[in-house]
Structure formats: structure tokens, C-alpha cells
Amino acid sequence: MSKKDNNIPESENTMEKEYSILNLGPTHPATHGIFQNILKMDGEIIHEAEPTVGYIHRAFEKLAERRPYNQITPITDRLNYCSSPINNMGWHMTVEKLIGCTVPKRVDYMRVIIMELARIADHLVCNSVVGVDTGAMTGFLYIFQWREKIYDIYEGICGARLTTNIGRIGGFEREWSKDVWDKINNFVKEYPKALKEFANLLERNKIFMDRTVNCGPISSKMALEYSFTGPNLRATGVDYDVRVATPYSSYQDFDFIIPIGTSGDTYDRFMVRQEEMWQSLKIIEQAIKNMPKDQPFHADVPEFYLPPKEEVYNNMEALIYHFKIVMGETNVPKGEVYHSVEGGNGELGFYLVSDGGRTPFRLHFRRPCFIYYQAYPEMVKGIMLSDAIITMSSMNVIAGELDA
Amino acid sequence: MNEELFNKLKEKLTAKFNDAVEVSEITYGFPTFTIKKDHIHEVLTFLKNDEELNFHFLTDLTGFQTADEKHLGVIYHLHNMIKNNRVRIKTFFDINKPEIPTATDLWPGANWMERETFDFYGVKFKGHPKLKRILNVDEMDIFPMRKEYPLEDQSRDDKNDKMFGR
């Protein structure tokens, strides 16, 4: 048989490799948010990913340039909506830094409680969704009622559940009721049991480990180059946590450890978040135990903190301040500050420039999601499509924070 | 501690880049340096690679427009995680010639931050691998964060807000 007859191409060059293009998203149920990825696939292996972001961009930085300081808090809710109280507190603390206001220790501790509850809620969503994406629906269904209980606590404090707008510049809007304290105590008492159950379900589960170990890894060097922060950076083995590096809100008073991973894969990210939930519980317990008594729940900043209603009706100064705050005519010093807090996903920074006007001259949010999502194409190169899905959910990319 | 860092940075930067440092100040405990546009890349490289300073982490990169609306700026926040030192580097340039060298060769993570700055302020980063809009639609032909584009139509006369200011 001659060479030509058997249909085998004469050289490698005549056979061209063909890639298929797959459009993942923007509204795909597996991406948990509005993300589009145009994937160049070689069979089931991703050869190249091209992410498109910005589908829910709402121009927060521009909006903030037209709003008085206390009206910016609701904007921050909508950044990382899984842990909005952390964003709210971060913003309050930024303004407090600018106006030079020190809050009572009690406010710090109350803030710590609410921020750590928000961190638990955030990690809980992320970890249970990693479970769902690997096929374990059970954990998600059982653990989600605990997020509801956290939301009940928010509701008792500020009246809202998801977009909380919790607290004020200078402290909290009112004293927490007995009901709220009962709910918090109850949560701290009951949640470990549920978390233990969830951990038993997944942490040493053979199927789960087979799916997540060595899936979507990133080295610590690369993570630092891509400006990773938060659990995703800690999973690679770098022990950077804003709460410890630059303590805010009296975090230096608490005893907790920073869990780190080694290989930066999906399993490590999952485990770091798991351990952080335990640490958060520990912090909340300490905060409840050491809560300073007989201190006010807000700082004495009449120019920013709304006076109680009875005062407004009966006191001239209170009426003036009430009017000034509501109309947004308070005096703010000139200056520029950068303040960062450890958000659910990493270092959430606020860069605020004030020219002394009623609104910020420039406000920039350093959104951890936006920054680390750019490493995603690099991380999914050469792995399977189903692995790319769990890589994304274990990175906890939140569309609201990404697109601002 | 921050003043110590500030003095050391000031000394080092002025010794190495004599005229490049325009303003050096410490605002709210944050050492801040304004660098001339032509030297920005050298200064960033120096800060990153100097063994003692070792600002290896790019925390933030963002755009800025000055109050006179004639200049744009780029603001870098650098971080040395080991010593927990932070520094803010600023640079300003003419709004009609918004060109500046990219920092993506130093930090790959600057990629999207620079795209965002281009998207909102129109700063052209020379040498950027793929400088195109990121959050806004590709068809947009303005740079929306510039002060010349107010949020609300300022010529509206159906709202009288003279009494309360806006």
C-alpha cells in the first residue's frame, strides 16, 4: 500500500489543532454571579480564558462624589453583599480617621462582634457553595439556616437583613436590645455544633478531597504579585491579615490565630475559611466576655451623630445638628486618608480625599475581588472546566464587589 | 515609627532621584511622595527592588483629577508586608497628554487596576499589554470619572436647591 492511500497525513503540520469556543456566563447558574468567561477549550481542558466583567457596575465612586458622608454608607452595603456590615464599619472608621474622632471601647467591641458575625456569614456562604459545586448539596441546605440566624441578629440591631446600613459614624444607632444579646449568645453556643457537623461532612470526605486537592492552585509568589489578600493569600502560606498587621477597632485586645495553608489550592482555601470561622467564634466569645460596661454606644461627635429625637424637639443645638446632618452640611476637614479593614475576601481599603466640601472629593474603594479575579485566567489554564467552576467559587468572587 | 520611615524614605529618594521628588509629606500617618511623571517608573522600580525598603506589594493603584481640572494623577499605595510599612506615591500630569509608563512589568496585578484607571480617567499606560475598557461598555467615548462630567444634569431648572446647597 502506498503512503498516500491510507489517509494518514504526511507530516504533523498538515493537521491543525482545533479549539472550540465556549461561552460561560454571564448568567450561568454555576458561576454564582454575573461573570462571563469566553473559554477556548481543547476537549474538556481549558486552553485560554477571557473574562469580561462590569455587568453590574453601578458607578459607586462617582455617586459618592455627590453624597454627604453619612449617605455613603448604603453604597458600601452593596460592595460585598455577603458581609455588608464589614464594609459599613470600614467606611465609618475611615471617616472617623479623617475627622479625628475616637470611639469608646464598647463601640469597638460591639463592632468586632458584628464584623466577626459577618465574616462567619461570608465564609459560610462560600464554603457551602464549594460543597454544592462539588456535588454535596446537603451541607449547603443544613448550614444555611445559620446564616439566617446571623441575619436575624442584624435585623434586631438595624432592621435590615442583607443591605444592612448598620451603625453610624461614631458608633451605633441605638443600644442593642436584650433580644439581640440573647440571639448572639445563643448563636455562639449552638453554632459550633452545626459547624462541626459541616466539617465532618466535607473536611475529610474522600470524594470532596479528590475533587478539591490540587485543583486551581496558585503559588505564594504569584499571589503576592497579583496583589492577593485575605483567605486566598493565606491559603498560599502568607500570614498577612489586616486585623493583626494594622489592628483597627481594638483587634489587638483579642487572642486569635491566623490560619494558613500551603499549596493555595481549592482545598486549602476551603480549610482556611473553615478555620477562620472557628477563630471568629473565639473572638466573639472574648468580646462578649470582656465587653466594657457603663460606656456609651456612640462617640461624642454631634456634627456627625444624629441626636435622639426627644432632644431634637426640646433642644436648640440638637435641632441645629439634626438639620445639618440631614441636609449634609457638616464641616469636614481637608485631608486624605487610607484605611483598610479585613473584609470577607481580603483587604478592603478606602482611599478618601476631602477638600473640605460636603462630599468626598475622591473616594476609591480597594476591592479585593476585583484585584484577585484577574489571576483567574492564569489559574484555570490547563485544568478541566468542572475544576474551573470550583476554583471560582472557592475564590469567593462576589460580583457586587468586583464591579463596584 | 511612621516618621522614622518617612525620614528614611525621604533621604533615600532625594539622594537617588534628586529633582524627581516634588512634594514629600506625611498625611494622617501615611508617608506620601509626589514624583515627577518622567521618573515614576524608576522610583517604583527602586522602591520595589531596594533590599532595605522592599515595597514588594502593590496594594492599590487609582486615578485622580486635581481640583483645577487641568491635571490628572495616578496614586500608588505600596506595602512592605514583612515590616508592615506603607507608602503612597503620587504623580500628576497634564490632562491633554495623559501618558505614563505602565507598572505591569513590576506587578502583574497592576493590569486591571490600570485598565480601570484608563476606563474612568483616560490615563494611557504606555506598555500595558491590553489597555481597553473594563467596567464600562467598549462603545463609551467619555471618561466618566472626570469632573467635567457631572452626575446630574447641572442645567436643570425644575429643581431649586439654592436654599440648601447641593
Q: Show which residues on chain B lie within 8 Å of chain A, measured between beta carbons.
A: 27-28, 30, 32, 56-60, 62, 64-65, 67, 75, 77, 81, 84, 86, 88, 107-109, 111-113, 116, 120, 134-137, 144-145, 151-152, 164-166
Query: How confident is the model over A340-349, as a mean pLDDT?
Result: 92
Give the residue extent of every domain in chain B: 2-126
Three-state SS sequence of chain B: CHHHHHHHHHHHHHHHCCCCEEEEEEECCEEEEEECHHHHHHHHHHHHHCCCCCCCEEEEEEEEECCCCCEEEEEEEEEECCCCEEEEEEEEEECCCCEEECCCCCCCCHHHHHHHHHHHHCCEEECCCCCCCCCCCCCCCCCCCCCCCCCCCCCCCCCCCCCCCC
Q: Are residues A148 and A42 in the same domain?
A: no
Contact at CB, A59 and B165, closer than 8 angstroms: no
Q: Is A5 helix (H, G, I), strand (E, B) or coil?
A: coil
Q: Are residues A41 and A142 in the same domain?
A: no
The residues near B96 (Cβ < 8 Å, ≥ 6 apart) are none
Contact with chain B for residue A239, Cβ under 8 A: no
d(CA A96, CA A352): 12
The minimum CA-CA distance between A369 and chain B, rounded to whole Å, is 11
Contact at CB, A57 and B135, closer than 8 angstroms: yes
Binned at pLDDT 50, 70 and 90, residue A18 comes out as confident
Facing A225 at nearest CB: one of B75, B109, B134? B109
- 445563643: which residue's cell? A186
Backbone angles phi, psi at A349, to 5 degrees: -110, 150
CA distances (Å), A68 to each of A60, A64, A174, A324, B63, in order?
Answer: 13, 8, 22, 11, 21
Q: Is the pLDDT of residue B156 over 70?
A: no
Backbone angles phi, psi at B52, to 5 degrees: -75, -45
Facing A347 at nearest CB: one of B59, B67, B88? B59
Q: Is the pLDDT of residue A10 over 80?
A: no
- How does pLDDT run across A376-403, given as a tens digit for each residue? 999 999 899 989 999 999 999 998 899 8
Query: How confident is the model over B52-74, as a mean pLDDT?
Result: 92
Q: What angle do CA A349, A355, A357 make, to 5 degrees?
A: 105
Kind plus residue range of the DSSP H or E element containing A337:
strand A335-342
Facing A57 at nearest CB: one of B30, B59, B136? B136
CA distances (Å), A37 to each of A26, A27, A46, A119, A196, in order?
Answer: 7, 11, 11, 28, 36
Contact at CB, B60 and A364, closer than 8 angstroms: yes
pLDDT for B165: 54
Residue B24, all three cell numbers = 514629600
Binned at pLDDT 50, 70 and 90, residue A3 comes out as very low
Confirm whether A11 is domain-assigned.
Answer: no
Mean pLDDT (chain A) is 90
Q: Which of A9, A35, A51 is the last residue of a domain?
A: A51
Domain with A117 in it: what CATH number?
1.10.645.10
pLDDT for A24: 87
Residue ranges of the alpha helices (H) in A72-177?
73-77, 84-99, 105-133, 137-158
Number of domains present in the structure of chain A: 2
- How does pLDDT run across A292-340, given as a tens digit for each residue? 989 999 999 988 999 999 999 999 999 999 998 888 888 899 999 999 9
pLDDT for A6: 58
Q: Are A372 and A232 in contact (CB under 8 A)?
A: yes
Contact at CB, A98 and B28, closer than 8 angstroms: yes
Query: How confident is the model over A85-100, as a mean pLDDT?
Result: 94
Chain A 241-260, residues with CB within 8 Å of chain B CB atoms: 245-246
How many contacts does A have with B, using Cβ atoms within 8 A?
94
What's the distance, Cα to Cα, between the start and end of chain B in Å?
A: 41
Kindly state the percentage of chain A with pLDDT values over 70.
96
Contact at CB, B28 and A97, closer than 8 angstroms: yes
Kindly state the percentage of chain B with pLDDT values over 90.
58
Confirm whether A9 is domain-assigned.
Answer: no
The b/e string for B10-36 (b: 16+ C-beta within 10 A; e otherwise) is beebeeebeebbeebebeeebbbbbbe
Q: Which of A51, A70, A95 is the last residue of a domain?
A: A51
Between helices A105-133 and A385-395, what is the axis angle to 10°? 170
Facing A374 at nearest CB: one of B28, B109, B135? B109
B107 contacts in chain A (CB < 8 Å): 225-227
Kind plus residue range of the DSSP H or E element containing A350:
strand A347-354
Q: Are residues A157 and A249 in the same domain?
A: yes
Q: Are residues A47 and A66 in the same domain?
A: no
Q: Are residues A152 and A255 in the same domain?
A: yes
Q: Which residues pair with B86 in a beta bridge?
A: B79
Q: Is the pLDDT of residue A241 over 80?
A: yes
**Cβ atoms within 10 Å, residue A156:** 17
Closest CA to A349 of A376, A331, A375, A369: A369
Q: Is the pLDDT of residue B154 over 70?
A: no
Contact at CB, A62 and B134, closer than 8 angstroms: no
Confirm whether A90 is domain-assigned.
Answer: yes
Contact at CB, B135 and A54, closer than 8 angstroms: yes
Backbone angles phi, psi at B92, to 5 degrees: -125, 150
Per the model's pLDDT, the better-predicted residue between A31 and B164 turns out to be A31
Query: How confident is the model over A165-179, as a mean pLDDT?
Result: 91
- How does pLDDT run across A347-363, given as a tens digit for each residue? 999 999 999 888 899 99
Contact at CB, A66 and B136, closer than 8 angstroms: no
Facing A403 at nearest CB: one of B107, B113, B135? B135
Interface test with B, best of A97, A227, A232 (most B CBs within 10 A): A227
d(CA B15, CA B53): 14
pLDDT for B18: 81
The residues near B85 (Cβ < 8 Å, ≥ 6 apart) are B5, B53, B55, B79
In the CATH hierarchy, which top-level class contains the domain B2-126?
alpha beta
pLDDT for A2: 45
Q: Are residues A35 and A146 in the same domain?
A: no
pTM: 0.92
The minimum CA-CA distance between B16 and chain A, rounded to whole Å, is 25
The minimum CA-CA distance between B103 and chain A, rounded to whole Å, is 12
d(CA A275, CA A287): 19
Backbone angles phi, psi at A130, to 5 degrees: -60, -40
**Cβ atoms within 10 Å, residue A26:** 16
CA distances (Å), A363 to each of A63, A347, A354, A366, in order?
Answer: 10, 16, 9, 10
**Cβ atoms within 10 Å, residue A4:** 8
A362 contacts in chain B (CB < 8 Å): 64-65
B81 contacts in chain A (CB < 8 Å): 224, 238, 240, 245
Facing B62 at nearest CB: one of A246, A351, A355? A351
Q: Are residues A117 and A254 in the same domain?
A: yes
pLDDT for B163: 63
In total, chain A counts a number of residues equal to: 404
Facing A349 at nearest CB: one of B60, B64, B144? B60
- How does pLDDT run across B87-134, given as a tens digit for each residue? 999 999 999 999 999 999 999 999 999 999 999 999 999 999 999 999
Mean pLDDT (chain B) is 88
A371 contacts in chain B (CB < 8 Å): 109, 112-113
Q: Which of A51, A70, A97 is the last residue of a domain?
A: A51
Contact at CB, A370 and B165, closer than 8 angstroms: no
ipTM of the predicted assembly exceeds 0.95: no
Confirm whether A8 is domain-assigned.
Answer: no
d(CA A136, CA A400): 26
Kindly state the percentage of chain B with pLDDT values over 70.
90
Which residues constitute the domain of residue A30? 18-51
pLDDT for A12: 59
Facing A54 at nearest CB: one of B57, B136, B164? B136
Alpha-carbon torsion A179, A183, A185, A186, what sign?
positive
B28 contacts in chain A (CB < 8 Å): 97-98, 335-338
Contact at CB, A227 and B152, closer than 8 angstroms: no
